[in-house]
A and B are shown apart, each in its own frame.
Chain A
Amino acid sequence: MGFLVTTLIFVAVGIIASLCVTICCNRGPSTNLLHLTLIISATVCCWMMWAIVYLAQMKPLIVPILNEGE
């Protein structure tokens, strides 16, 4: 369930960021759409990276084997 929770956190952060940008730099609908697109892309990119790394570690096939002398 950690996956879903964190995904929801990403979505929430994205929405809050969009709202902030829309409120404080409101420069017309087309500019707002551009800002929204940028924020959504950034959120999606960041989420994808996190999700990939998280999923890869959920059910690992390789385990860490320590070096001697650690």
Chain B
Amino acid sequence: MAEIGGGGCCPPMDLMRSEPMQLVQVIVPMESAHLTVSYLGDLGLVQFKDLNSEKSPFQRTYAAQIKRCGEMARKLRFFKDQMSKAGVSPKEFLGKDVDIDLDDVEVKLGELEAELSEINANNDKLQRSYNELMEYKLVLEKAGEFFASAHRSATAQQSETESQQVVGEDALEAPLLQEEKSVDPTKQVKLGFLTGLVPREKSMVFERILFRATRGNIFIRQSVIEESVVDPNSGEKAEKNVFVVFYSGERAKSKILKICEAFGANRYPFSEELSKQAQMMTEVTGRLAELKTTISAGLDHRKILLETIGDKFEQWNLKVRKEKAIYHTLNMLSLDVTKKCLVGEGWSPVFAATEIQKALQRAAVDSNSQVGSIFQVLRTKEMPPTFFRTNKFTTAFQEIVDAYGVAKYQEANPTVFTIVTFPFLFAVMFGDWGHGICLLLATMYLVLNERKLSNQKLGDIMEMAFGGRYVILMMSLFSIYTGLIYNEFFSVPFPLFAPSAYECRDASCSEATTIGLIKTRDTYPFGVDPVWHGTRSELPFLNSLKMKMSILLGVAQMNLGIIMSFCNAKFFKSAVNIWFQFVPQMIFLNCLFGYLSALIIIKWCTGSQADLYHVMIYMFLSPMEDLGENQLFPHQKTVQLTFLFLALISVPWMLLPKPFILKKQHEARHQGQSYAQLEETDESLQVETNGGAHGHEEFEFSEIFVHQLIHTIEFVLGAVSNTASYLRLWALSLAHSELSSVFYEKVLLMALSFNNILILIVGLLVFIFATVGVLLVMETLSAFLHALRLHWVEYQNKFYEGDGYKFDPFTFTLLGNEDE
């Protein structure tokens, strides 16, 4: 357990510092190990350390069990695949965890897998036969046509030759002879033929190769099939042609067969006689019908099987995942063979100690073990993980801060103030209460439907927006406030709180456009006076206002950051950090930029015309010079000289003493005294129970000095650059109001000026789309990003170290969301 200095500067506050964590050791007997880990997983408050990290995954105790779980997971994945292909969706499992035995599940899964594979294989076979028969049917049809047309032309030819030879031969016998010979008029050699299907894209090449291979001694006819045919081998649709090849001789036949095989052309038997063709046709049609019914019966059977699987799928899935996680965790415990028990170490919050002990007892009882488990707290110097207990509201803010770096154990958490300052700075850049209301409506939808939406699977962007719904809610509330202050409702000002403070100088308002109005009534009580919008001097006024506001807000936030570093120093009881870091930093920042802020306020209060640029710059360049008309308050020169002097000495103040003091402390510690009562106590208080065992703390003076030098330079230069960086508050707010104003005037007002209802509707639509697309989406993201940057860099670099690691407990609650 890392000892901390408690108390600090204020009473304990939720979320300010990490929960106190302790390293616990758990000794469990073998028989209750599984159940213990299961109950601890349900509790979700222990982060186990891997005590077997040197061992490879195969050497670990429970490797076999993990393999089993892996097999089962594979089978479940296979089922899921099959189910999605068949369009069956698994039933949602939201019920209680029914106690199912892992062995039963394993057996069941094995059976189901075998059955499903068998059905699939059968289906494939049947489907293949079906496709082949379909092709055969096509061949029968098309080849039948060839022969029919060949017969017709042959008979036509025969009747021609007949008419030519009618004089010299016997009229009765001649037709028979000629008919026989009509198939082969020139030779007496018997022709053979082959029929089949060839893919269309290969058909020309097929013909050519056949021609060349047989030296032109073949006759080939092809016929195109209009619809695409399902190829039996590949199962996909393909364009094919029916071909008939006539050849003579065995050698030609073998060549043709080989070429057909090479081209993937399927051959089917075909007979010349018409009667046999018709017979084959009816047979094939009959068999096709049979196969079709068989296949559909098979598919139905498969569907039923898949539905039964789907019922229990989620349950099994969860159980397998859970078991796998449990075995992974059990592998992290070290095995003590002699005492037949497992020893586990892990981090857990201090407040969870009683709950863990209860879980251990329950597990011992439930597993009927003779011996109970032992729970003890270990003392260690390791840095514990950081754990913040967040609720649904603060989680999003904590994640924003964690994205930059997880807080070191027990250092001050920036989230506490970020919850307010982040939406506030966003709103300063976004200020328009009309847009704020739109944003509020959008986020109220998310917040009011959060129960329903959290169970659904949303897309990536919606997921992010839903996760940040409370952040956006705060942003919109603050935006409405700043919108009222800037007095902008879709860029239109309204005198909501009082009439405007400005009026014409005289009754005729003759000089309104040249010299301007004057302030007659009291200052407009809440926000920017509505008269300003649209005037010629609007921008000089607003720019001056917003720039000064940015500086004031920036200096305030940076001071807050330095004060947080004071809280840290107080908490860790480090007087060095207080006197030689916090104090000079405060002096430096406030003597320069705090003074500037004070000058701004004084100038506003007195209405003086002093030029602040001039004042600040000449404070450095010629501090002894008289201020003349830039004087804002009496004795200003003396005050400035004092501040300049203080700022100058604060730089070596934060640079030099600290490394020397740290060196002295280190030497004092190394004298062997555990509790050396020095003026300045240790930097990080770690009570040493074993006196000289901090050998890992080597003290390199040069390193410490360089570190301090870097820190000092960063702070001094950063004071100027960070203050200037806050001017982005002005820049973005100006951009937003100008865009909003342009959309309003150039789109909506122009559409209104035409007095045409159609143009009005079109203009309104363009206005809505532009507002939503540019202002509500793009500007929101932009202001979000810049507010984030201001927090991460300008605010946090005053105090945040952020080099901790997050508490990652062993828990089952995340299993449901895993997508393996």
Contacts and interface: CB of A to CB of B under 8 A. Distances in A.
Contacts of A34: 13-16, 416
Contact of B536 (A45, A56, A57, A66): A66
Contact of A65 (B535, B552, B606): B535
A2 B604 CA distance: 15
B524 interface: yes
A64 B517 contact: yes
A67 B545 contact: no
A64 B526 contact: no
Contacts of A23: none
A20 interface: no
A56 B538 contact: no
Contact of B502 (A48, A50, A63): A63
B552 A52 contact: yes
Interface stretch (B267-275, B508-516, B764-772): B508-516
A34 to B, nearest CB: 4
- Residue in A2, A31, A66 whose Cβ sees the most chain B Cβ within 10 Å: A66
- Residue in B15, B420, B605, B609 whose Cβ sees the most chain A Cβ within 10 Å: B420
A4 interface: no
A55 interface: yes
Contact of B13 (A30, A59, A64): A30
Chain A interface main SS type: helix
Contacts of B401: none
B95 interface: no
A56 B604 contact: yes
Interface residues of B, number: 57
Contacts of B540: 62
Contacts of A48: 552-553, 556
B532 interface: yes
B512 A65 contact: yes
B537 A64 contact: yes
Nearest to A5: B525
A57 B532 CA distance: 11
A53 interface: yes
A70 B504 CA distance: 13
A49 B424 CA distance: 10
A55 B545 CA distance: 10
Contact of B519 (A37, A46, A60): A60
Contacts of B428: 49
Interface string B535-567: 111101100110011001100100000000000
A65 B513 CA distance: 5
Interface residues of A, number: 34
Nearest to A58: B523
B633 interface: no
A65 B501 contact: no
A70 B527 CA distance: 23
Given A41-B420, A41-B421, A50 B485 contact: yes
Contacts of B552: 48, 52
Nearest to B601: A55
Interface string A39-51: 0011001101110
Contacts of A49: 428, 481-482, 485, 549, 553
A16 interface: no
B534 A67 contact: yes
Given A38-B419, A64-B538, A59 B605 contact: yes
B628 interface: no
Nearest to B428: A49
A66 B16 CA distance: 51
Contacts of A63: 502, 515-519, 537
A42 to B, nearest CB: 5
Nearest to B552: A52
Nearest to B487: A53
Given A50-B485, A53-B527, A65-B512, A59 B502 contact: no
Contact of B548 (A37, A45, A56): A56
A65 B537 contact: yes
B523 A31 contact: no
Q: Which 6 A-B pairs have the closest CB atoms?
A: A59-B607, A65-B516, A63-B516, A41-B420, A64-B535, A55-B604
17 contacts: A30-B14, A31-B14, A34-B15, A38-B420, A48-B553, A55-B604, A55-B605, A56-B548, A58-B605, A60-B541, A63-B502, A64-B529, A64-B537, A66-B535, A67-B513, A67-B534, A67-B535
Interface of A: 2, 6, 29-31, 33-34, 37-38, 41-42, 45-46, 48-50, 52-68, 70
Given A62-B541, A65-B513, A68-B513, 13 more contacts: A6-B526, A49-B428, A52-B549, A55-B605, A58-B607, A59-B605, A60-B519, A62-B537, A63-B518, A63-B519, A65-B512, A65-B516, A66-B536
